[in-house]
Structures are given as C-alpha cells and as structure tokens.
Amino acid sequence: MTALVYLEQTDGAVDEPSLQAATMASSLGGGAEVHAVVAADTAALAPAGPLPVDAVQVAVHEAFGSYAPLAVAEAVVELAGRLGATCVVGPGTERGNEVLAHVAALLDLPLAANCVAVADGGVTRVRWGGSLLEEARVDAPTLLLTVQPHAVAAEPGAGDPPSVETFTPTLSDAALALRVVERVGAATGGVSLADARVVVSGGRGAGSEEGFAPIEELAELLEAAVGCSRAVTMAGWRPHTDQVGQTGTKIAPEIYIACGISGATQHMAGCKGAKRILAINADREAPILQSADYAVIGDLHEVVPAISAAIRAARSG
Ligand SMILES: Cc1cc2nc3c(=O)[nH]c(=O)nc-3n(C[C@H](O)[C@H](O)[C@H](O)COP(=O)(O)OP(=O)(O)OC[C@H]3O[C@@H](n4cnc5c(N)ncnc54)[C@H](O)[C@@H]3O)c2cc1C
C-alpha cells in the first residue's frame, strides 16, 4: 500500500496542518509506504529536515510560483497514478481542501474532508462546523481525504530526512489559467491568527471598531493575535481575516481570550481547539461560559484595560 500526502509550504517550511496530515498518513499502518508531494517553482524549495514520510517528490513548474490549485491537483493525480497510491491525503486547510477537491473531480472519486481519524477504509470526520462527528465507510479504489487541522499532533519524523526527487508535471491549459495573479498584504500585525499561541478576540460586545482598542492593547502586551466574531466582521469593524469560527479561521492557541462574545455554535467551531478559554462577558448566562475554563463577568471596557494595567504593573515590579 502506498499513501501520498500533499504538503503545503509557508516561507520554505512545511506548515503545521500539512505536518499533521503527514502524521496521519504515516499512522495508516499495514506497512504503508508514505510519499509526500510539494509543488514549487524551483527544486531549491524542497523541504529540508525530518518529515514523517519515506520520500518527498517536488513537482517543479513555473506555475507553482503562485497558488494554482487545479495545476497542483493535476501534479498530485499524475504522481498518485505513477506510485499506484491507494490513499491521497491533504491538510484540511482552505487550500488543502480545494486542491483535494480538484483531485477528487479529476479522478471522479469521493473526497472525505476534515477527517480526525482513519481506520480500515473508514473515516471519522467533522461535519456541521464541528457539532457532529460522522463515521463513514468510503467505497473507492483510492481513499481521498483531508485532515482536520489540529485533530492530530504533528510529529516531525524521526531519523534521517526522507529522500527527495523532482519531477515536471504535465499541466493542462485550463489548470495553468487558474492561479493567483496578485497578492495584497493584510494590514494586520505580525502574529498569524491560525498559529498564534494566544488569541484575544472581540465580539459585538466591543461595541464599535474603536471598541477594539483595549483588545488590541492586550494582544500587543501578550504578543497575541487579534480575533473576532462574525457579528464584528458583518458590522465592518474588523476584516474577515480576523474572524474565528465555522466560516472563519480555526485556531488552537494555548489560551483564547474571548471578550464580549456570546459563544454561538458557529463561533465555538473555530476555537474549540483552544487549550484554555477565558471569557470576559457582561452576561453570566452567556453560552460561552459553558465552554470557558475561566470567566470574568463584567464590562470588557473595564475588565480588559484592568488586565493590561495589571500585566504592566507585574512586569515593571
Ligand atoms: C452559516 C453560519 C456561519 C457562521 N459562522 C460564524 C463564524 O465563523 N464565526 C462567528 O463568530 N459567528 C459565525 N456565525 C454567527 C453566529 O451564529 C453568531 O451570530 C455570532 O458568533 C455572534 O457574534 P457575537 O458573539 O460577537 O455577538 P452576540 O451573539 O450578539 O454576543 C455579544 C456578547 O457580548 C456580550 N456583551 C455585550 N456588551 C458587553 C460588554 N460591554 N462587555 C462584555 N460583554 C458584553 C453579551 O453579553 C453577549 O454575550 C455564523 C452563522 C451562520 C448562520
């Protein structure tokens, strides 16, 4: 049995959700050989260091200088065919799910997205924004799946780094036409929401765009990322890139500080991976208190500045 795992790289390094996908692929058992594929516009971008796979194949094409999902899928399909892969795995990120959806369409096979476990051709996967775990049997010659971010702990792989080979995939004109042609950088700070160890988030309770000032101040003190609820993005107070939830970013910080957020199911779907939740809310009946490890009942415009002041005092003392 051969498994092929598609890895995404950020700034030349395999990102965390891809490492998690590789870890799940390597745990398939049955003596499966695990190959990884990365797409790059130069062979120099081959991942370095240990990975939990036996071999890495770098699909090299100038189209991969930007995000080109159908082209990546065609490269994955070509390699999977050459390897005789019986399982193709990808990270359950926006891009990983998009690439694997193209792979499924090209192969005319079903895709099990956002899986948390795989065993004997069956998968357990997250549905309905995390409120349901579905157990499904997949009836297909090749099992296609993506791994729900943060469902498994990433293991970098022990021993020697895997062998690395390159190949030039054959890409269709349609695939080459579908790619990112321009990027506009987000005007947010340096800490990425998806990877942050601490996230300070605001909801409708912040009251306005300006109401995020104390939340930003606390985030800066804690070197945290700022998040928000959909009520906030819908009001135009913060960009959608800050939104946590089912239709936003899924996060798994050490601590999630939720200020003025009620804790709707769709919001909790994005932060249930947090190790600890501190809720700051004016309403002691707010649903988020059922998931919170710590809570402060009060007005966030008083509580959050008080926490910042206490941190400053502790640091200067
Ligand atoms: C298909 C679908 C997808 C969705 N996806 C998402 C998603 O990805 N992310 C998301 O967040 N939502 C999502 N939603 C919306 C979700 O259902 C909620 O409407 C939303 O999360 C509510 O945001 P909120 O908690 O900020 O606002 P509210 O529910 O209005 O809660 C505001 C909270 O602030 C408290 N508060 C008010 N004033 C203060 C104060 N001064 N100090 C302290 N606390 C105060 C209140 O007690 C209340 O608990 C989705 C909905 C649908 C239907």
- Digit-coded pLDDT (tens) for 162-196: 999 999 999 999 999 999 998 876 655 567 898 89
Relative to the CA of 247, which ligand 1 atom is closest?
Answer: 8
Q: Which residues line ligand 1 (CB under 6 A)?
A: 203-205, 229-232, 243-248, 260-262, 264, 266-267, 270, 280-283, 286, 299-301
Per-position pLDDT tens, the chain of length 317: 899 999 999 877 899 999 999 999 998 877 779 999 999 999 888 887 788 999 999 999 999 999 999 999 999 999 999 999 999 999 999 899 999 999 999 999 999 999 999 987 799 998 887 778 999 999 999 999 999 988 899 988 877 789 999 999 999 999 999 999 988 766 555 678 988 999 999 999 999 999 999 999 999 999 999 999 999 999 999 999 999 998 899 899 999 999 999 999 999 999 999 999 999 999 999 999 999 999 999 999 999 999 999 999 999 97
17: helix, strand or coil: helix
Backbone angles phi, psi at 166, to 5 degrees: -120, 155
CA distance 114 to 133: 10
Whole-number Å distance, alpha carbon 11 to ligand 1 midpoint, is 34
Are residues 62 and 41 in contact, defined by beta-carbon separation less than 8 angstroms? yes
Whole-number Å distance, alpha carbon 146 to ligand 1 midpoint, is 29
How far is it between the farthest Cα atoms of the chain? 65
pTM confidence score: 0.70
Whole-number Å distance, alpha carbon 307 to ligand 1 midpoint, is 22
Mutate to test the pocket of ligand 1, among 210, 261, 307 (most ligand atoms within 8 A of CB): 261
Using the 8-state DSSP alphabet, how is residue 162 labeled? P
